[in-house]
Structure 1
Amino acid sequence: MAASRYKDKDAGIVLSFGGQWVSWSHTAVAYLAFLSALIVGSALHYHKIVQNEWYGYPDEWFPSVSATIGDRYPERSIFMIFIAITSGPRFALVGLWYLLTAKPGRTLPKAIAISGVIRTLTCGGWTYITSTDDHDWHDILMISYIVFTIPWTTGCIALSPPNAKAIKYRKYLASAFFGTLVPLVYFFIQHKVHRVAGAYTIYAFFEWSLILLDVAFDAVTALDFDTFEVVVRDVKGASMGANKSSVPTAVLEKEKEKATAGVFSAGFRLDEALDIAADVYHGFVFWSILTSLGVVVWYFPLWHMGISGFEAFIMTTVAPALLAIRPIRSLVLKNQRLTHLLSLAGLVAYRVEDPTLRLFVVGLGVAMSCLGWTATLCSDSVQPARLEMRVLAWVIGLLMSSVAKFAWYTNNPIWPIMHAANGGWNGTGLAIAVLAALRFTRRAPLHGGTPAGAESGSALLSACGIGGLFFALHSLLSDTSTMILWVWDGYPIRGPVSNVHGWYTIAAMTVGVVAGVSRPALVTTWTAYGVGCVGAAFLTLYHHWRGYYGALALAAYLMAISIPLISSAAKKSPAVTFGLGFLIYNFMVLFHVWVVAYAFVPGGPLVREHTDWIMISMMLLIGAGVFDLISQRAKSARKQEAPRRSANANHRKYYFGALGILNVLFLCANFLRFPTNDYKPYHAEDRLLTAGIWTIHFSLDNDMWSSEYRMRDLIKELEVDVVGLLESDLQRIIMGNRDTTQFLAEDLGMYVDYGPGPNKHTWGAALLSKFPIVNSTHHLLPSPVGELAPAIHATLDVYGTLVDVFVFHSGQEEDPEDRRLQSEYLARLMGSSPRPSVLLSYLVTTPLEGNYNTYVSATSGMHDVDETDDDRWCEYILFKGLRRTGYARVSRSTITDTELQVAKFVVPRDEADSVATWSAPKALRDRRVPEEEVPEGLRFPAMFKGEGVRGHQYHVFDEPRYYAF
């Protein structure tokens, strides 16, 4: 016990000690709790606590934290006793830190203290509620602990007293803590997804490192708490009050600002934070409305099977060209609030049932949104800080849109193709959007004229930059899975996966935004542009991780260059920079569609399959904008003008905070979406494989609603184990940059192969399977005239037997030579497999005629699932080496334009059974039997008999067909 420093006030003191002992006691007991559990657990249950769901000793030889502290007695009890003792010093530590840092009028110390208390409570939650007790709550509380560790850590660094050693330790320990999260996640993925032996042991080391670093970070408070003396008296008295620490030196303040990127360098004001939140949300609304336009336009050529005329609505984005008319410019600039409120028509559109009227309402919303944002940027361009705020809101709004789409499985919850029945949050989103728009426009416009001529440089070059930039942001960064699917090339997995690695794209976008604001001179160089071009080339030319590394470089560059490009464009004639810019963007969108829709559009063959031309054009357009920026900078240098900087950068901390929050929200959604399914087939006891083929019409139903939920329900209720989906590539602007397979795979517990990616110029073929996909190869079949025909050749592990599944979409009826060549190619491909096989296909042929006899032939070795079914034209199921037991056709309701065909097969148990299956006579294979002779486990669900459910029923035969063999 230390002697009191206040000799004249020693009367009545029972106990006194230095404040640093709070830190040391917390550190000692916390370490003792974890290390004692590790020692006892290793001594008593070593082999049990190193065992995980895939491997045990000797493949795994070091236990994870959760297995050590939560699974067995007595180590669990020892840990809980010590961790309970730790809670006292932990709360005391938070309290002393608040007393040390609190100053009159400062809000941040209170916020950090609250986060410290919540962090302590959630720590108790995930340590006392183990994964064995309740896996979900354990994970929720652990995520919450990590989330609140972020403000606690950065806040402690920002509020650190003038102690160079403490600041240094906090920086190093915080960097090590958050840096450890990266390999931690990597090795967890290696264990959970790839099932790599020994990966969980390495993961465990990083997990234990997090514990040690976390406790060590709080231990640094001992260097600051020596200014305190904790005194216990036997009489009541007023406290000593908040610590009046000295003002930090300029050097230490610089260290703190550097450690926190200047985020906490100024005071925190709630009204400013609300302004930034409203701005970012309004930016999110802009991107939500813009990205919805392509989807609602696409509905019409989709159902017309060609150009419908409604494609003209994409030109609504050129509304800023109206600002060239002086009366309209004056009217819009003086009534910006009304313009922005009218833009919310794009969100109200979900209330309009008729698809045509809904398109008109969305078109109005897009026109008003583009017009309103251009007017706002134009009027705020005279004030650098205001302009930077608007540009940041616009750009970060895109990032928020990508986060929301990830959380909603690539659908935006406020799109007009969403409603309550398919997961939409339209009403909530609209209500917040109205409040955000009102706050966004609460400041009066800075001027009502036009800044034309106020900024040097070329408005034409700037318009080219805007056109290329907006196309790049929309086509590549409006969904985190888009570029991942560009580099996807089948199983085994050799690159990023959408629901696991999507955050890397968000992180790259975040880095780009920060660089664009903090280092504009660096990003507006030809060197930086060269990096972006190399990234675009790698994304276009390579698969797997190499291609994705290029994608990340391109993502960072696009977000970084957005800040100076948009800022410069706002200072020129808005009718040219944004009116012409959006027109160029529209031509790029059409170019982007033409390369795959060449069979249906005039001049299409000229650009057939030239995504490389799109990427070159996009980067050249952005290069024109960069040339304009560099030219302006050179002129300023010749005139010896200092580059204009924002007079007040205080807003940046709020925007950077918004970026941090969005990243945390994405990681939370990422954790919730992390693959945890057991992938069990429906009737394993019968060795049954139920396979289906469905043309899903780009996941838009007859009424223009996104149809994933309805598809999910039918596939689940029919108990389909393997399903091929056609017309499934939605990763284009006109389809909303979506991926239906993510939702279906995760909700149904299935493996997924997306098939040939969006840069392969097909309408898509995908495979979902309850069985592990051992290997898959993507094929583009011969198509000298018509559209490309995609195919997937996948090998599945079905009850220990390797079974090949082919998913194929042939060319159109108008191209007979294409279809003949494709039939020959596929017949040879199927015939090359010595394994049991199933073809799930769209063949465009009449049963028993023409190309049918190439698919069903000695070359392929395949049999028709039911050659007596003469009502087919498109969808066919073929097989070999399997025991066919049933076949059914199920009506689509209003989900798509094509039925779901399903067949049931029993997989041979051994080689002798397989030989018997292959050599069985045709008469035996084709003999049909009544349902009552079929075992219960091999029957189709009875719920679809008669009138069925929700418009789905067995049709054509009115009931399923069953076969004796």
Structure 2
Amino acid sequence: MASRYKDKDAGVVLSFGGQWISWTHTAVAYAAFLSALIVGSALHYKKIVQNEWYGYPEEWFPSVSATIGDRYPERSIFMIFIAITSGPRFALVGLWYLLTAKPGHTLPKAIAMSGVIRTLTCGGWTYITSTDDHDWHDILMISYIVFTIPWTTGCLALSPPNAKAIKYRKYLAGSFFGTLVPLVYFFIQHKVHRVAGAYTIYAFFEWALILFDVAFDAVTALDFETFEVVVKDVKGASKGVNTSSVPTAVLEKEKEKATAGVFAAGFHLGDALDIAADVYHGFVFWSILTSLGVVIWYFPLWHMGISGYEALVMSTVSPALLGIKPLRTLVVKNQRIAHLLSLAGLLAYLVKGPVPRLFTVGFGVWMGCLAWAATLYSDAVHPAKLEARILAWTAGLLMSSVAKFAWYTNNPIWPIMHAENGGWNGTGLVLAILAVLRFTRRAPLQSGGAGEKGGSPLLAACGIGGLFFGLHSLLSDTSTMILWVWDGYPIRGPVSNVHAYYTIAAMTGGLLLGVFRPALVTTWTAFGVASLGATVLTLYQQWFGYYGGLTLAAYLMAISIPLISNAAKKNPGTTFGLGFFIYNLLVLFHVWVVAYAFVPGGPLVREHTDWIMITMMLLIGAGVFDVISQSASAKKASSRRRAAATGHRKYHVGALGVLNVLFLCANFLRFPTNDYKPYHADEKLFTAGIWTIHFSLDNDMWSSEYRMRDLIKEMEVDVIGLLESDLQRIIMGNRDTTQFLAEDLGMYVDYGPGPNKHTWGAALLSKFPIVNSTHHLLPSPVGELAPAIHATLDIYGTLVDCFVFHSGQEEDPEDRRLQSEYLAKLMGSTNRPSFLLSYLVTKPLEGNYNTYVSDVSGMHDVDPSDWDRWCEYILFKGLRRTGYARVSRSTITDTELQVAKFIVPRSQEESEIAWNAGEELRNRQVHENEVPPGWRFPAMFRGEGVRNHRYHVFDEPRYFG
């Protein structure tokens, strides 16, 4: 088409409006997907609607992946059109940069780069289909979605003053991201719950994503009307000229509203790096703080009681020193040194001995709490700076939870981690040093702080104590509240590796609420709703209990902004020193309720998690009262802060967005594969094991999941009971070993009674589906609670009952007698084939042993001739036992792994024969050569074995004929 500016365009052979690039991209992209859908439906309809569970007519609409990636010729047609699309796509990104780039602005360059990467990853996931390489297809598709976020938000932020374009972008972006929620929901319904027809609904949302995504880019046609190619700005929009009839100020306000105002102040790379460093430093603080309990816990484990090292829990009270004015001035003026010294907590992984490692971590926590309290106190004179510091501290907690999810509830920079068990300690330390240097690169605003403000330092300290306990005990790991409400199979509530993002979303939403709507948070109504949420979480299970937990999570994050801000403006020696002391008392209370049998005064608080929750909320309420009592002055301050503080918020919002995306990426990679294959399916044989894992800390204070995984896999264990497995407390790091083992080994998992049931834990992992499970707390009038799991497994089509049980301690014989009677009746209540994986605390053939192995239970001992047992026992009935072995633990734990092999009866008659076989026949031992090769234990553990694991006591496995 000819140019309208002929006097200036002499020599131009061809020129056309820039909007045609957008229309060409839109038309060809839609043609690629829709042509594949039409051709695929015409030629291979029933094949492309078929999925791993269902086909036509249950599923009747194909997904995008099945349409474009599985069949010829639709796959080829799609790829041809996508190749054609790439040209207009790159041109679209280039024109957008030219339209929005302005001298001194970094954001247009960043958005252009994200657009280029987004285009490349689009080519990646469309040309590498899930059929070609499932992992790379998923990686590239996730990357595409990740880079769509900055592209979408950036286009909104950089939109020229065009009312129609801004409106369409808002609607399409909202539709795109809103579609992700039902998309994930129906994918879970299909993948996990195997609901017929769910994949068809998922497919509709997947196609909607494509339509919205392409339509969002199509809106550029309204902006590119200002361009004529080859490229000449014929209307001046790239210079900021308003070509709309709507005033520029109105349009800019509309744009600011669309982006929540977070981009209003522009974008500067240096400021973004500052916020990134601040958030990472906050992450380091939480990483060191949450590691303290784990390294302390090592010592009472081995002492079987108070060791004295528990005193280091008081390492957090160091801010009390800031109550001494000369020391306060010294620390405030030397914040960089204090923050750098706190990194000793990260260096601790290089210290081999448990005792010096504990003291190194304790020193890191001491300096970390001191440094952060001094920083907050110093910055309290500047509301915007203070808010930025608090956001970094709380976002650091969110980052810690994200990292722990990605590392299966371990933090990669904890001192119990190293390269051999998945640690990233060296990398984390280098980044931490760089973050501290940037975090402290500006001199303190003033050494005296903001001065004494109104209100009560004592009430503020109570608020800090309750707040930090709530954040640490409930939100430092995304699985904690989920396990509070877990009650077994069939699944009727959230599960950690599928629904944990809800916790992250609640934390993020709460933090944003505390920043943008502080007046809503600091009300008694909000406190009352949060208290109700705490009550529901404590008293109820399944989804209802979790909803209460999400309410509480959002409130804790939201109220952290006003509570910490209020505390920072008072004497830090009182607010943070006393606040952390109160927090420590709650931490000990938190342990006492379950460790009551080993600590002085323990029986007074036995099983009173409800008291803990009440105390926590009352303390937070005291802090809220102090904030509300100063509401008049706070309103004036907030009005001043609102204008001054928005500069940093866009970067914090961006950081929260990045953390959420990273979590979703980890969530996708951890999504259940449903690949549960027993080791000897052809022989209809399964191997069962029992192991007391000593809270997943080995003898040298390293996290032991990897070593446990290796032994369980090499011993070919299909069903295993794990005892001393509940790690969901501050003192144990809020961990969950079963997540890693279950996902890595391909097993179903029942965590057993949750952390609010006050036991040391009993868990079940199984290669076979868990049809049903119930949790039991056995009679324990004096000693520690005895947990049990009664699960029904579908083993090769036969329902088999499995019991996992941990008896009470030796010092309480009456408890153990009552427990033996309860469990004997429980095992006797089923006539199905059954086996028990247990910790009984009794000698073979004596005492309570004869209650467990009795006519009441119907159970038989796996090997009555094994006289060298005291704790671990395997019992069975209605099964054919073929082998039994004991495998030394090396330095993983304090208890060996015991395993037994069983054949599942093919019929009820065969089960009764096995059940009623005479004692002599049932226990007749045979040589290994007399059993088929598939029935034998691995030979690698004979003799010296591997990694100090070997068959011991008998020096070889035993077989029964």
Question: Which bracket does the TM-score occupy, shorter chain normalised?
Answer: over 0.9
1:645 positional shift:
4.4
Following TM superposition, by how much is the alpha carbon of 1:892 offset from its aligned partner in structure 2, in angstroms?
0.5
Q: How does 1:938-957 map to 2 (within 5 A)?
A: 938-957=935-954
- Separation (CA, whole Å) in 2 of partners of 1:786 and 1:700: 24
Q: Per-residue deviation at 1:223?
A: 1.6
The separation in 2 between residues aligned to 1:672 and 1:281, in whole angstroms, is 23
Aligned to 1:937: 934
Q: Give the match for residue 649 of structure 1.
A: 646
Question: Aligned residue for 1:823?
Answer: 820
Tell me the CA shift for residue 910 of structure 1: 2.5
2:179 alignment partner AA: T
* 1:723-762 aligned within 5 A: 723-762=720-759
| Aligned mate of 1:893, from 882, 890, 893 | 890
1:709-858 superposed matches below 5 A: 709-858=706-855
Q: Aligned in 2, Cα 1:106/1:547: closer, same or farther, shift over 3 Å?
A: same
Q: Is the 8 A contact 1:804 1:838 kept in 2?
A: yes
Deviates more, 1:296-305 or 1:85-94: 85-94
Aligned AA (2:844): P
Letter in 1 for 2:478: T
Partner of 1:528: 526
Aligned partners of 1:702, 1:340: CA distance in 2, in Å? 31
Tell whether 2:686 aligns with 1:685.
no
Question: 2:18 — aligned with what?
Answer: 19
Asked if residue 516 in structure 1 is aligned to residue 497 in structure 2, the reply is no
Residue in structure 1 matching 2:671, options 658, 671, 674: 674
What is the CA–CA distance in structure 2 between the aligned matches of 1:704 and 1:425, rounded to whole Å?
17
1:884 is paired with a residue whose SS is strand
Letter in 2 for 1:693: I
Distance (Å, rounded) in 1 between the aligned partners of 2:305 and 2:663: 38
User: In the alignment, is the contact (CA less than 8 A) between 1:532 and 1:554 conserved in 2?
Assistant: yes
CA shift for structure 1 position 262: 1.9
**Residues 824 and 800 (structure 1 numbering): CA distance in 2 closer, same or farther, change over 3 Å?**
same
**Distance apart, 1:516 and its partner CA:** 0.9
Matched with 1:961 is 958
TM-score (norm 2): 0.98
- Partners of 2:226 and 2:235 within 8 A in 1: no
Cα distance, 1:920 vs. partner? 2.1
* 1:166-177 mapped onto 2 (5 Å cutoff): 166-177=165-176
Cα separation, 1, equivalents of 2:60 and 2:737: 40
Q: Distance in 2 between matches of 1:323 and 1:13?
A: 74
How far 1:4 sits from its partner (Å)? 2.4
Match of 1:496 in 2: 494
The alpha-carbon deviation at position 472 of structure 1 amounts to 0.3
Q: Which residue of 1 aligns with 2:569?
A: 571
Contact 2:105 2:268 in 1 (8 A): no
Distance 1:905 1:147 in 2: 48
Q: Extract unaligned runs of 5+ from structure 1.
A: none
Say which SS state the counterpart of residue 703 (structure 1) adopts: coil
- 2:585 matched residue in structure 1: 587
CA distance in 2, matches of 1:241, 1:896: 73
Residue 243 of structure 1: CA displacement?
A: 2.7
Tell me the amino acid that sits aligned with residue 628 of structure 1: D
Q: Provide the residue aligned with 1:909 in structure 2.
A: 906
Q: Distance in 2 between matches of 1:778 and 1:253?
A: 59
The residue that corresponds to 2:135 in the other structure is: 136
Tell me what 2:241 maps to. 246
- State the secondary structure of the residue aligned to 1:846: coil
Equivalences for residues 436-515 of structure 1 within 5 A: 436-453=435-452, 455-515=453-513
| Corresponding letter in the other structure for 1:418 | M
Shift of 1:164: 1.2
- Which residues in structure 2 correspond to 1:414-433 (within 5 Å)? 414-433=413-432
Q: Secondary structure at the match of 2:7?
A: helix
Q: Do the aligned residues in 2 keep the contact of 1:418 with 1:424 (CA within 8 Å)?
A: yes
Cα distance between partner residues in 2 of 1:127 and 1:602: 64
Is the contact made by 2:381 and 2:449 (CA closer than 8 Å) also made in structure 1? no
Cα deviation 1:257-284 (Å, max 9, x = unaligned):
1221222212221211111111111111
Deviations 1:706-730 (A, max 9, x none): 0001000000000000000000000
Question: Offset at 1:551?
Answer: 1.1
Compute the displacement of 1:641 (Å). 10
AA matched with 1:755? G
> What corresponds to 2:594 in structure 1?
596
Aligned residues of 1:836 and 1:880 also touching (Cα < 8 A): yes
Q: Percent identity?
A: 83
Q: Distance in 2 between matches of 1:10 and 1:666?
A: 53
Residue 544 of structure 2 corresponds to residue 546 of structure 1: yes
Amino acid at match of 2:915: W
Contact 2:465 2:581 in 1 (8 A): yes
Alignment match, 1:611: 609
Q: Distance in 2 between matches of 1:463 and 1:636?
A: 18
Contact 2:228 2:234 (8 Å CA) reproduced: no
Letter in 2 for 1:593: V
The structural deviation recorded for 1:513 is 1.2
Partner of 1:265: 264
Count of equivalent residues:
957
Superposed displacement of residue 194, structure 1? 1.4
1:15 match: secondary structure: coil
> Post-superposition shift, 1:12?
3.6
Matches within 5 A, 1:120-269: 120-231=119-230, 243-246=238-241, 249-269=248-268
- Check whether the contact 1:451–1:573 (CA below 8 A) recurs between aligned residues: no
Partner residue, 1:95: 94
Secondary structure of residue in 1 paired with 2:835? strand
Kept after mapping to 1: 8 A contact 2:387/2:645: no
Matched residue SS, 2:14: strand
* Equivalent in the alignment of 1:373: 372
Give 1:628's match in structure 2, choosing from 622, 626, 629: 626
Q: CA deviation at 1:644?
A: 5.1
Render the CA deviation track for 1:603-647: whole Å, top value 9, x for unaligned.
11111111111111100000000000000114667x999675462
Show the counterpart of 1:403.
402
CA distance in 2, matches of 1:656, 1:238: 34
- Distance in 1, Cα, partners of 2:680 & 2:639: 74
Q: CA deviation at 1:500?
A: 1.1
**Structure-2 residue corresponding to 1:306:** 305
Would you say the 8 A contact 1:100–1:245 is kept in 2?
Answer: no
| Cα gap change, 1:450 to 1:240, in 2 (>3 Å) | closer
- Alignment-mate amino acid for residue 222 of structure 2: L
User: Is contact 2:692-2:895 (8 Å) kept?
Assistant: yes
Matches of 1:124 and 1:240, distance apart in 2? 34
Q: Structure 1's 367 and 10: CA in aligned 2 closer, same or farther, altered over 3 A?
A: closer
- The residue that corresponds to 1:362 in the other structure is 361
- The Cα shift of 1:229 comes to 2.2
**RMSD after superposition:** 1.6
Q: Distance in 2 between matches of 1:148 and 1:333?
A: 40
CA contact (8 A) 1:839 1:877 kept: yes
1:385 aligns to what?
384
Cα distance in 2 for residues equivalent to 1:258 and 1:713: 54
Q: Secondary structure at the match of 1:690?
A: strand
Q: Is the 8 A contact 2:2 2:14 kept in 1?
A: no
* Partner SS, residue 776 of structure 1: strand
Letter in 2 for 1:604: G
Aligned partners of 2:57, 2:714: CA distance in 1, in Å? Answer: 43
- Give how far 1:686 is off: 0.4
Q: If the length of structure 1 is used for normalisation, what is the TM-score? A: 0.97
In structure 2, list runs of 5 or more residues that go unmatched: none
Q: Secondary structure at the match of 1:92?
A: helix
